[in-house]
Structure formats: structure tokens, C-alpha cells
Structure 1
Amino acid sequence: MMAILRQSVLSLVALLFIGLSSAAQADISPIGVALDQRVIDLTNTLDAGTTSRLKDQLAALEQRKGAQVAVLLVPTTGGASIEDYANQLFRAWKLGRKDVNDGILLVVAKDDRKVRIEVGYGLEGTVTDLLAHRIIEEHITPAFRQGDYAGGVQQAVNDLSVLVDGGDLPQQAARQVNPQIIAVLLAFIAGGIGGVLIAAGKLKWRRTLIATLAVTVLLVMYAGGPDWPLYCLVLPLTMLIGGATFGALWLARAVFYCVMAVLAYVVGLLVVNHFVEVSFLHWLAMPFGGALVLGLYVGLFFVIRESWKTKPRFFIVRVLAVAAVYVLVGLLLGHGYQDWIIAIPAASVVAFIVFITSISDGSSGSGGGSGSSSSSSSSSSSSSSGGGGSSGGGGASGSW
């Protein structure tokens, strides 16, 4: 009797322990779903055929290479970042083989419009962050933007399978420029040329109208498509905008040549980029930013010179005040040479305010004097766990 009672108690304790362990394991998962299959769709987005095909493909990959790849579609991550959500789930499911950690998790948060590829330690050298980013940017998000979620997930699984098998992703095909965009651009250029010719007196209005009609017909034929009636209105309007813009610039000849130089520079960068990859942020922002700063300091120079002409008596005092501001800012920032360089813009702003104020005072003072001296003059105003699950956050994320 005692033996039966002891055995019953031990069985109850064992069942209680198993129940608590299962509950604890479920709590670890951010969605409370066990990894009982390789593809879990909680959004009811994938059809049964696609789900079955993905499961078979991932099972074959695991049997062939040992790596575990799982796919999860959820409505939302519940306020958590897609990175934290995927990493927590990856560890809870222990994807990949123990001590190998060759697991991959593809998470799609449909309502959040976020996607994440989480890669285990063992595959970070195979599925690098750059390759994961390429998969997301080139194959997943373009399909998702078109509403093709099944196609995006399928392509992602295909790419991951290729990489795990030791292959390489194909190079991204060159993007074809939309002919409608080219037509609008050509219309703007044609309008700009016509505007300059009209402003220069080289083109009469009758010939302008005939040329506009001919160019419109040719560009509409080139653009084609079912929206060709719309382009019959858009293209002439674009030519009108281009003509008005460059015709007005032609009247201010210096500005016109500066704009043409900028356009030639941009076109040159595009040509160079066709042969050698160019960082447009570097080659456009840096020169234009430098030109802007140079222009501001040239303006400051003329302001200082005009201040010397207007009120030379207190010019030294103003210079010393600006120098004091520069020293004060430099001392507040620190003593390194970089801190003193950073102090230059602050001193420049103060210099501009001080010297432009002196010019205004001088102008008003001279105006008052002239008014008093001549009263008659007029005034002017101004699947199941594999035991792995170790991931250091490798992979990539994206949105659509």
C-alpha cells in the first residue's frame, strides 16, 4: 500500500514539474507559440499550397545541410522592435543544431510593415548582414509592396537555401528606367532650350508652337502605354515650365551659367557612375556645402569691409569683441585644436551680427544727416528546436 502511495505521489510531482517546465518555455516565446512546424502563419496570408511547399523545401534543406530555417508571419510585434522580437524568438525556439547554431529565422510583421532575417552564430559567415540586406531590399520588400507576400517569402526562402547550400546570390539586374519618366525629362529639356532661344530672340512664337506640337507627338509615341491621353497634357505643361524657368535664367546671365555648370557637374557624375561606383552624397553634398560656406564667408568679408567704411572709429572695438567671443567659446569647448575650429562658426555668427548692425546704424545716421542738411530734398525708404538558438543579432531588417 505504501509503495503504491509513494509511486502516485512521485507521478504527481513529475507531472507538475513537466507542466511548469512547459509553461515556462511558452512564456519565453514572445508569441507563446511552440516551434512545431517550419512555417507558422498567424496572419492567414499564405495559402495552403505555398505553406506546404515551403515546409517541404525547408525540411529538405535541413536534411541536406543540417541548418534549421523557420518562417513566421505575425500581425504585429506588439510595440517591440523587430530586431528584439526576432532575437528573443530565435533564442526561445533554439533554432539550429546545438554547438553549431546554424539557424535562420524569417519574421514578417505584416501590419507593422517590418521584416527581419535573424541569423545564428554558425551561419553569420555564410548569410552575412550584407547578403541578408540584399535579400530584403531586392526580393522581399519589392514583392510585399505589390501585395505579393507569398512571392516575397518564397523568394527569401529560395535565396537563403542557395546561400546555405554554398551558392551565391545572382547579381541584381539593372533597373530599367520608365519610358514615361524619360519622356517627361526630355520634355523639360526641350522646353528649357526653347525658353532660352525665345529669351535670346532667336525663335519666334509661330515656330515655337509648331515645334511644341511636334515634340509632344514624338514623346507621346515614345512613352506609349494606356495613359497616353494624360501625357498629351503633361508634356506640353512640362515644356512650358522648362521654358519659363530657363528663359528667366537667361535674363540673369551669371545665374544661368552657374545653373548650367551645376547641371553639367551632375551629368558628369552620372556618366562616371556608369563605369565606376560613385558616392553621390559625397560628391554632391560636399562641394555644394563647401561652396555655401565659402559664399557665406565672402559675404562676411564684404560686411566687415563696409563696416570699416561706415564707422571706422569703433572698428577695432568690434574686432576685439568678436575675438573675445571666439576665445570664450574655445575655452568652453576645451583646449584641443578641433574645439577651437568648432568655435569659428560661433564667432562668425557674432561677427556678422556686430558688423551688419554697425552698417545699419551708419546708414541710418548718414540718412538723418542728409535729411537735416537739405530739408527740400525728397526722402527714400528700403520546426522543433535543434538545441541552438545563439544569435548575436546578425542579419538584417527592412520595411515596405
Structure 2
Amino acid sequence: MVIFLRQCALCVLVAFLASWGLMAQADSVPSGLDKVVLDQRVIDLTNTLDSTTKAQLIAQLAALEQRKGSQIAVLLVPGTDGASIEEFANHWFRTWKLGRKGIDDGILLLVVKDERKVRIEVGYGLEGAVTDLLANRIIEEHIKPAFRQDDYAGGVQRGVNDLVLLVDGETLPQDAPWSWTPEAYTLFLALILGAVGGVLVSARKLHWRGALATLAVVTTTLTLVAVIGGREWAIYPLAVPFLMLMSGALFGALWLARTVFYMVLGLLSYSTGLLLTNHYVRELSFIYWLVLPLAGLVVLGLYLLLFVLMKTAWSQSRVAFFIQLAVVAAVYAVAGFVLDEGLNGWLLAFPMSSCAALVIFGNVAGGSDSGGSGSSGSSSSSSSDGGFSGGGGSSGGGGASGSW
């Protein structure tokens, strides 16, 4: 028990020191930029923007702040002094205190000219309007193409125009919708037929000689249809059998592991439904509708595992259970205190303490009389006095980065 208490105390100490160290690292000012006065909406340390463009941007951003209250700032620097662009942008976002206090509706457009990198850092209050997906679209479709032509003023102006549009509640102009060509339909049909054939062969409902004969008939038929229709046909004699064989081998192997087969089939059905909805009904964000549900299932599984571990620890020793629970609560308190982000910080501390709980309860539930050590950490914010600032500056790292 003494060893267990000692390791629990060490767990809290490690969490505190790790969080404090990350906070100190985030607060460090890159050398050469500690004298920058953040008193304008547009700061160009590379002397890239001409006075006319700079004045136009300042007027546009001032009008946005007057109209909506949100703040957008533009910063052009030659380099980051070895820091990643994400850390660099987050540091200056917090230092600048962009956005209104308590709302954090600020955005920083950062251009690192010599390193050919750009980032859009978004405050908590605007993450719903300027999602990571939209920020990436702005960078990829409007900023980077201009920067590749050495049109830095044009790229910055287009990026600011898009951000102002989103903050005002409007949407970005849509590209021409992608439409299926006859060739795409044909190749997709080959994939489906190959998958069905592979399953039938694995289930011994179709002999391999019959499968090869079907392959030849399908390839010949699709090629003849393309020739009669006056379309490009040369790709079919190669692409159709290749796709059918590849799809057949994959789904034939999956059929042998029936559980995995049905899981893959369900995922493909869900993804196909998203594609059809996106094409015929309304535009969908695949990050929210595909990646996030999968991530949610993983998180749910981890919390179910934590529940089982806590239940096991409870059945082994009530005293040890409450000691472990107290250690987890201490980790949560330390993380929330060090983050110093108000409600957002305490919410962020919850998953950190949950990870610590998995380690602590997992070690004890595994049969040893010792507690694991959980680690948690994050970054804090720095401040500046005076100048162009709204008192905000809280960002969860939302936005996007790119290189040209």
C-alpha cells in the first residue's frame, strides 16, 4: 500500500510538471519577434504588402469588427525560428488576444514567407463558422495558388475576403459539382461484379472456371458497348478484368472472416449513403459524418473499458478504489488549474484525467497493488498590453495550415 501511495503521488507530480513545462514552452517568445508591437490589424514584417493593399485590408477588417464584433488579424513574418507553424500561430493568437473576451471570436491569418507556409488560426467562438475543412479550402483553393505565382497581396486579400464572408454567416462559392462519367459508372460496375463473384467463389457457389468465363463475358460486353457508343474503349480490356480480379480477391478473403466482412460491408454502405446524399440532396462534411462517428465509437469503447476497470477495482478493494479515484480527481484539478482557460480548460482537463484513470485503474485491476501514472499536459496563454486586442485569444488549435 505504501508503494501504491508513493506511485499515486508521483503520478500527480508528473502530471503537474508536464503541464507546467508545456505551458512554459507555449509562453516562450520566438527570438527576434519579442519587440513586435501588436497595435494594428495587419502587420507585415517582410515588407511584402504595398501601402494600398495594407490600408484596404485594415479598412475591411475594421468594418467587420464594427459590424460583427469579431476580429481578424494578418501577420506576415520571414520565419518561425524553428517552431512549428501551429505552435507559432497559436502563440501569437494568444499574445494578440484576438476576439472578444469570453467569446474568443478571433482569427489569425499567418504567412511565413521564407518557409513558404501559411496558417489560419481560429478562436473557439468561430470554430462553427470557420471549420477546419473550410479553412483548408481557403488555403488550398485561393491562397496557395496566388502565392505560387508570387502574388502575395492577392493571396492574402482572397483569404481575408473568404474569412470575412464566413464570419458574416455566408458560404464560400462552390466549385462546379463533380459528375459521374460513363467510364466511371463502368469501372464502378466492374468493382461490384468482381466483389459479388469473389464472395460466390469463396462460398463455393461458383466454380473458378465459371468465374473466369464470367470475367471474359463482362469485359467483352462492356468493351463492345463502349465501341458502339463511340466512347474511348481501349482502357476497358485492361481495367475491367484488373478491377474485377482485385475486388473479387479482396471480398472473397473477407468472406472467410464473416464478422470483418459484415463490418466492411456496413462501412461501405454508410459511405455510399453519404456520397449519394452529398451529390443529390445536400452538401455534407465527410469529417463530421464519417471520421467523427468512428472516433466517437472509439471514445465510447474506451469509456466502457474504464467502467469495467473501475468495477473490477471496486470489487477488489473499496479503500484502494477511493484512493485511485482521489488520484484521478487530483490529476483533473492539476490539469484544469495549469490550463487556466476557464470553462474550456476544465472541459479539456476531463479527457486528460480520463486517460490517467485508464492507467491507474488498469494497473490495479490487472492484479498488482500499485497505481499507474497518468500524464496530462497542455499549453497556456500569454498576454500583451495595449494595441489592437479584444481581450480574447483562446484557440483550441482549430484552423488549417499549408505550404506552397
Q: TM-score, normalised by structure 1?
A: 0.49
| Structure showing greater Rg | 1
Greater relative CO, 1 or 2 (CA 8 Å, sep 6+): 2
Q: TM-score, normalised by structure 2?
A: 0.48
